[in-house]
Amino acid sequence: MLNSLRTKLTLSMLITSLAAISVMALITPWLLEQRFVNEAREVHFKGFVRAIEEFRQDHQEWGGRQSALLINQYLSNRQAAPIRPALSDQRPTVSNSFRFVLTDHQGFVFLPFFEYELGQQLSAEQLQQANPLTLDGELVGYALGGGELPLTDQDKSYLLIQSRSMLIGAAAGLAVTLLLSLTMGSQLVKHLQALTRAAIEMSKGNLNQRVQVEGKDEVALLAREFNRMAQELNNTYAELKASNETIKAQAEAMQELSLRDELTGLHNRRYFNQQFRLMHHQAIRYQDALALALGDIDNFKQINDRFSHHIGDAVLKQVAVLMQKEIREADVLARYGGEEFVILMAHTDKRQAEGLIDRIRAKVEAWPWHQLASELHVTISFGISDKLDSDLGHSMLVEADNRLYQAKDLGRNRVCV
């Protein structure tokens, strides 16, 4: 596979170089030809302007159909039609197939070719496609070019030299590319081989592996990260062998599971009782406020009977989620049993607790229960107490329970304090 990687790297660099050279080989001749065409047109345009200038020196009138006929006759008499400027000492030259149609500044043709006639006035659209002829910044006429521009022997020789130069450059570029790809590819493959061997050794349990790769490229970065992870793994393995942290972590996880309700993921009644005794004792000792809320899902038995126990379980889990989103970090939320929930709120009196619990009640009522079952509607009732007596919290639980029954008797879906 590594040899294949080297081959792919070499081929990719060669293909990239070939593609770049091919594009240049296609574009350069076209650019040169455009240059020859532009130079030929400029030479001809200068000749046309000189002819018009000579005519204007001998004739006062310039512009219009009559003027076009006069300059045509004038040029014919001077053996200047078709107009061909002296190009023997200039490059590029043109053949008879490379023609121009000339008009005055008003668009009247005085040198016709192709389908154009002497004295014909070109439309505005046709003039937009023509090349303007100017004399000292003044518009004196238009030229419409047509036909193919042939290349002279000098032009062809110039293009041949260019092509040979490009071929020599391409060969040199390919040679350099091949040399670089082989050199860099060999170095890259060597580093990857070292990484592969180290990874295989680690998979066999030999964790003390290091890869020596210098530089700042991606392979060097990969090697450094590999060395770092290998060192961390080696350290972790050594620590695990020297201690009983794994056993301790497992024991703590099992302890946590024993304090969680399996269905809702909330803490269970056992955990609540532990926290309640501790927080109740601290509230009395430091004369701090403590509130307890008991909640019960309204008509839960009817939900089970009408919609199935599966829907009932889904309701319990969703209510648990809604309550968890509203309680504070310091609050204790637990499933007390069946459809009952209990919330313990430190540093909170019953009025403060009432605001929090009523938000929970409203959230439960407003949640789209039809997503679980059509015509399903769920509400919850709460009873709140902040009574602190030296009876391990028994009176607080009794009072909260009484307030919960009061909420039920008053029509459910309410909070009683």
Contacts of 384 (CB under 8 A, 6+ apart): 291, 292, 293, 350, 353, 354, 357, 400, 403, 415, 416, 417
Report the DSSP beta bridge partners of residue 131. 143
Reported as type and span, the H/E element at residue 96 is none
Contacts of 142 (CB under 8 A, 6+ apart): 102, 103, 104, 105, 107, 122, 127, 130, 131, 132, 133
Residues 387 and 371 sit within 8 Å (Cβ to Cβ) = no
Omega within 30 of 0 (cis) for the link into 112: no
SS3 244: coil
DSSP state of 118: T
Q: What are the start-end ranges of the H helices in 259-345?
A: 269-285, 300-307, 309-326
Buried-state track 89-125, b at ≥16 Cβ within 10 A, e below 16:
eeebbbeeebbbbbbbbbbbbbbbeeebeebbebeee
Terminal Cα distance for the chain, rounded: 74
Buried-state track 183-199, b at ≥16 Cβ within 10 A, e below 16:
eebeebbebbebbeebe
Q: Annotated catalytic sites, by residue?
A: 339
> Tokens for 400?
């909260």
Task: Please state, as a whole number, how many other Cβ atoms lie within 10 Å of the Cβ of residue 277.
Answer: 12
φ/ψ of 24, rounded to 5, equals -65, -40
Rg (CA), the chain: 48
